[in-house]
Amino acid sequence: MGGHSSLRHRPGFDHTKIYLVETSPQKNIRIQQWVVVLAIVLFAIKLTTYFLTTSVAVLTDALESIVNIIAGAMGLYSLHLSAKPRDDDHPYGHGKVEFITSAIEGTLILIAGVIIIVESTDNFFYPTTIHKLDYGIILIAFTGIINFAVGTICIREGKKTNSIVMVSSGKHLQSDTYSTLGIVVGLILIIITDILWLDSVVAIVFALVILYTGYKIIRRSLAGIMDEADIELLRPLVNLLNKNRRANWIDVHNVRIIKFGPILHLDAHLTVPWYLTVREAHDEIEALRILVSQEFGESLELFIHSDPCEEFSCPICDKPACNVRKLPFKTKKEWTVENISTNEKHQLHS
């Protein structure tokens, strides 16, 4: 649909509005294709560097590049699948596959970290002679710079389109850069000190960084599969609503955000004055829809249900010139992540 919205009404919901703007996933797919090609090229460079230097740290870095190739290919497949249109069997689309492939990618990162630690430990006790360290440093540093640059691009584009695969792929590439940096430092120290076991120590240290990155990716993927509340998204939403609150927005509650690949699905209940006409309530929902969509970008599906205010709403409602007010206004209730998530209208509790 590009930048146009489609409006639908769900039967059985009063004043419910659905707003959907499709993203263009082809850009993500194109970037991921280059990630796979890059992973193959860099693997060849690292393998060549290993044969030049016989450094076990360089070998373990090359082994991680194999994981990069597999993970990149899986990410590319998931982006193709999640970009497929909705159908009768998948009314919310195919975006959940991104969480699955991202979890597998995180697992592969963990495996790579363990392999690096095992190989480095063995080399610590039985160090091998290292050759041509100057060439090795140049080649490995080059692969690290390229990985970090491409990883940054992936993370930036992934955040723009809410693609966990792109973000995971970018973090994976950046974690590869950190391990590469450790290897470069290790090789430089070996040149300076002529202590061979430093090669293994530095590799193990940065393998721990890789393990932590893999854990974070798996943790986020499982949270998405289980539809865990995304506090990182709810906090900016709450701040946005508090700063742009309208007089007729008495409260917002039962707010839920779920990710389906690149699509954000947002449910919310908006309490408005009970005497508003259907058209007036619709206008308040439309104002909320526009506000949220401007903040969260194009990939947004929004369901808003309007609720009428009750007598207990009066003490927290500062709407001026309300002719049907039953109780005096006492205090404005600040919206928080906690109170907008509850399934009840806001009120003052004694």
Q: Phi/psi zone of residue 321: left (φ > 0), alpha (ψ -120 to 50 degrees), beta?
A: left
Q: Which of 207, 225, 243 is the last residue of a domain?
A: 225
Owner of token pair 């104002």 = 287
The side-by-side arrangement of strands in the sheet containing 251-260 is 6-8, 17-21, 300-308, 263-272, 251-260
Q: Which are the contacts of 212, defined by CB distance < 8 A and separation ≥ 6?
A: none
Contact present, 18 and 302 (Cβ < 8 Å): yes
Residues 186-218 pLDDT 10s: 788 888 888 878 878 877 887 887 788 788 878
More confident residue, 296 or 267: 267
The predicted structure's pLDDT at residue 5: 37
Q: Which of 160, 194, 225 is the last residue of a domain?
A: 225
Domain count, the chain: 2
Q: 201 and 252 share a domain?
A: no
Helices (H), 162-268: 164-193, 198-225, 231-243
- What's the predicted TM-score (pTM) here? 0.58
Q: Which of 194, 225, 256 is the last residue of a domain?
A: 225
* 300-308/17-21 β-pairing: antiparallel
Q: 254 and 333 share a domain?
A: yes
Per the structure, the complete domain to which residue 334 belongs is given by 8-18+230-341
How many angstroms separate the CA atoms of 159 and 193, rounded?
43
How many angstroms separate the CA atoms of 50 and 175, rounded?
20
Name beta bridge partners: 7. 19
Tokens of 331: 């205090």
> Residue 218 maps to which CATH number?
1.20.1510.10
Residue 17 has pLDDT above 60, yes or no: no
Contact present, 334 and 348 (Cβ < 8 Å): no
Residue 22 has pLDDT above 60, yes or no: no
